[in-house]
Structure 1
């Protein structure tokens, strides 16, 4: 009997892999997760210019970071942001406005560096083009009054942007994206509602500006459909970073309620493994989910309501069997009634990235959940 069950599980895994192989183009590339403290952390911890011991970004909780900055004068805060923009700009618990200022400085410096690389005779034409592409992305992030909450140029790059005012909004929300999202694909004109920035803008508008929304590309996502997308290694690393973000929001902002967290595609695995508590999240909403890395909603904190969006008929994620065996797959479909999530409609949505499109029943439902209705 045991042999039969093992064989059936192996067969199911093989079917899942076959579906993944045909769902959008298999890639054998694997990604190395960006983990640990922000860039320049060693210089930060060695800085004694203020006559104070600066909190170690690798070990200090966001709550203690918030308490540290609360004890500084505005001039001292500005001085630290100017000397260590990549640390302050990515330090969960630091004042939000200070992080915006620090990330403006960091983006400006990185853009200058990439422009220099774009004309460096020691580099290849491919290097020049890559540098120009990054410099242009940094320029767009510096345009106007964009509120960049996090910016990390390492690897494929990470970024987070705020729509609305975190300091005054009664409600907040966080968008956690899935595969193929990084610094360069965070916001794009094509497929706008498939990017965290596009999703955040749509939700912000759908709530009438009453919810501040964070578009969070703050973890290393899988590229394409392959081993990384079928396993949970990147999701575990992402869950740690999501936990710190939510802890930082709890420590550094004062909304009436913790954020509602919207988890798209592979991002729902990140959210499932993070398992936020009621102190850090008002609700979880999954959409286009391949599974959450848990067997049922009962494995998550019962104090955080879980909503699962009905899958539209043109979403390819429905072709991926919901198995979890030998480290492959992400478990039960959250839209399965037996999983225990509260259902949300998806009428009017199309494809894997259309759930935040204006006019859809899903976006209307997301606005209602974000507003606490």
Structure 2
């Protein structure tokens, strides 16, 4: 009976597993945005120069890249104007074309909450207005970069919260800017809010449903980067985002996977991620994620603490990190180490 009691208590505690920065508040069940981008039906019925268009859902990014390599400027402009939402989200399409397509798509929504994403100079690599909105933004020159990093955020992030002014180094765009500055501009950084994140604390944060959908999207996104010739990325995975990275790790060509403020990666150890990437982990002394049970019971919870010795990840010094979202604070040891990892200087 005592063992059963402990199990029931652990299960109850697992419900409180949290994945983001909202703290201990209740959350709402989210509907995951999955599948091909809006406008896919019209795209599938179209052609260019008599050639069928690659299916956004089934064509591999390498196939998409080969298709676009065979088009002249006129054909590229035709697709850009007719199908901006598809082109802007099509992994394997030319980067500059995607930036322009997403600028057009953002303007076309006519929604004030997205207007800043269309500002001159912004490089929006993905934009999906469905649901709460998803976005990926590039900081630096992704086409010429020798090093690439991708920020995978946790709960309460979407297209509108992606670059909130009060989140200078805690939101996805803020983390990306902070990391790029810390590398002296040597790394192109992508802030990837490319999946439906949990809102607050609730079953979405405690189970893996949204992370499973996010992992599929992250794996395809990184495969798309590879298809256009970018270097293997370093994945920086915060909180519930580390659950996404844990599930996607074996399907990406990442050189490194860095989990910080993690509730678990749905694996018992770094080796169990089945990835050739180096795995790193960090947790600050005042990060409340330490109080979340690192267990899995009946599908709830995300398993072993990646920052524990038992998990076997390489440790990132984080003794000066404040709270759950302070890992990219300027001057922190964690940020300095992140920068070294991103530049391939940490061993």
Distance 1:254 1:353 in 2: 28
Residues 203-232 of structure 1: CA deviation (Å, up to 9, x unaligned)? 111111111000000000000011100000
**C-alpha contact (below 8 Å) 1:10/1:325 kept by paired residues:** no
Judge which range, 7-16 or 350-359, deviates more: 7-16
**C-alpha contact (below 8 Å) 2:91/2:225 kept by paired residues:** yes
Match of 1:25 in 2: 25
**C-alpha contact (below 8 Å) 1:174/1:214 kept by paired residues:** yes
Match of 2:211 in 1: 235
1:319 deviation in Å? 1.3
List gaps (5 residues or longer) in structure 2.
Answer: none
Residues 96-116 of structure 1: CA deviation (Å, up to 9, x unaligned)? 0000010011111112xx3xx
Equivalent of 1:360 in 315, 332, 341: 332
Match of 2:274 in 1: 301
Task: Mark the CA change 1:53 to 1:12 in structure 2 (over 3 Å): closer, same or farther.
Answer: same
Match of 2:245 in 1: 271
Aligned-residue CA RMSD in angstroms? 1.6
**C-alpha contact (below 8 Å) 2:196/2:214 kept by paired residues:** yes
Match of 2:143 in 1: 167
Residues 122-177 of structure 1: CA deviation (Å, up to 9, x unaligned)? xxxxxxxxxxxxx1x32211112000000000000000100011111100000000
**Going by fraction, where is helix more abundant, 1 or 2?**
1
Equivalent of 1:15 in 13, 38, 41: 13
Does residue 55 (structure 1) correspond to residue 54 (structure 2)? The answer is: yes
After the TM superposition, which residues 161-200 of structure 1 pair with which residues of structure 2 at under 5 Å, given as runs?
161-200=137-176
**C-alpha contact (below 8 Å) 1:31/1:228 kept by paired residues:** yes
Match of 1:46 in 2: 45
Task: Mark the CA change 1:216 to 1:302 in structure 2 (over 3 Å): closer, same or farther.
Answer: closer
1:316 deviation in Å? 1.4
1:15 deviation in Å? 2.8
Distance 2:313 2:295 in 1: 18
1:7 deviation in Å? 4.3
Distance 1:148 1:219 in 2: 15
2:303 aligned counterpart, secondary structure: coil
Task: Mark the CA change 1:108 to 1:331 in structure 2 (over 3 Å): closer, same or farther.
Answer: same
List gaps (5 residues or longer) in structure 1.
Answer: 115-134
Match of 1:96 in 2: 95
1:200 aligned counterpart, secondary structure: helix
Match of 2:81 in 1: 82
1:192 deviation in Å? 2.2
Distance 1:67 1:19 in 2: 43
**C-alpha contact (below 8 Å) 2:114/2:160 kept by paired residues:** no
**Size of the alignment, in residue pairs?**
342
1:340 deviation in Å? 0.6
